[in-house]
Amino acid sequence: MPLYTYVLSYGGRLHVVQDSRSNFKGFAGSLLDDHAANSLGGLSDAVRQEAAALLYRVDWHKADGLAAVWRGGFDLRGKPFDVIAIDTKR
């Protein structure tokens, strides 16, 4: 399975995680585990669940000028929540 690197950005904080999956879209909401929630400023369970649900429905767009990089994002409680997925070669 391909290895993907994800960069999550929210409230001026970043979280980076890698995982092997069949595709980069289908499981994006599962990126928000306890470690990610803490890295992104200590998201409460309610905010984390809201963000996870939005990640499953995010519109992905190919990053301009970059191979195998996709971007998505949404507004989460008045702040941008951005996610980047990178097809990472092993």
Question: Scanning the structure block, which residue is given the tokens 């499953």?
Answer: 56
Beta strands across the sheet bearing 13-20 = 13-20, 3-10, 79-88, 69-76, 61-62
Percent pLDDT > 70 in the chain is 99
Residue type, 45: D
At 42-65, the pLDDT tens digits run 899 999 999 999 998 999 999 999
pLDDT at 73: 96
Residue type, 72: G
Residue type, 14: L
At 6-40, the pLDDT tens digits run 999 999 999 999 989 888 887 788 888 888 989 99
pLDDT at 90: 63
Average of per-residue pLDDT values in the chain: 92
